[in-house]
Amino acid sequence: MSTQIEEGTSEATLSLEPLCRSAELERGWGEALWLETTQLALFRTEEDAFFATSHHCPTSGAKVMARGILGDTVVDGDSVATVACPLHKEVYRLDTGECLNADSLPLPVQRVSAAAWSDEDHVAASLALYQQKYRIADEILGDIPGYLPPEGGFFLWLPVADGEQAARTLWAQAGIQVLPGAYLSRDVDGINPGAGFIRVALVADADQTRAALTRLRAVLYDETGG
Give the nearer residue to ligand FES in terms of CB position, either 61 or 190.
61
Give the nearer residue to ligand FES in terms of CB position, either 90 or 199.
90
Q: Which residue in 88, 118, 171, 187 binds ligand FES (CB under 6 A)? A: 88
Here's the x/- map for ligand FES, 54-83, by CB under 6 A: it reads as ---x-xx-x---------------------
Stretch that binds ligand FES, among 74-82, 85-93, 134-142, 176-184 (CB under 6 A): 85-93
Distances 194 to 22, 60, 179, 181 between C-alpha atoms, Å:
39, 60, 10, 4
* Rounded least distance, CB 13 to ligand FES, Å: 32
Q: Tell me: does residue 39 bind ligand FES (CB under 6 A).
A: no
* Rounded least distance, CB 212 to ligand FES, Å: 56
Which residues, at least 6 apart from 138, have a Cβ–Cβ distance to it below 8 Å?
A: 149
Whole-number Å distance between alpha carbons of 90 and 8: 34
Q: Tell me: does residue 208 bind ligand FES (CB under 6 A).
A: no
Q: Tell me: does residue 90 bind ligand FES (CB under 6 A).
A: yes
Q: Which of residues 108-147 bind ligand FES (CB under 6 A)?
A: none
* Rounded least distance, CB 88 to ligand FES, Å: 3
Q: Which residue in 85, 198, 200, 212 binds ligand FES (CB under 6 A)? A: 85
Give the nearer residue to ligand FES in terms of CB position, either 90 or 97.
90
Q: Tell me: does residue 173 bind ligand FES (CB under 6 A).
A: no
Give residues in contact with ligand FES (CB under 6 A).
57, 59-60, 62, 85, 87-88, 90
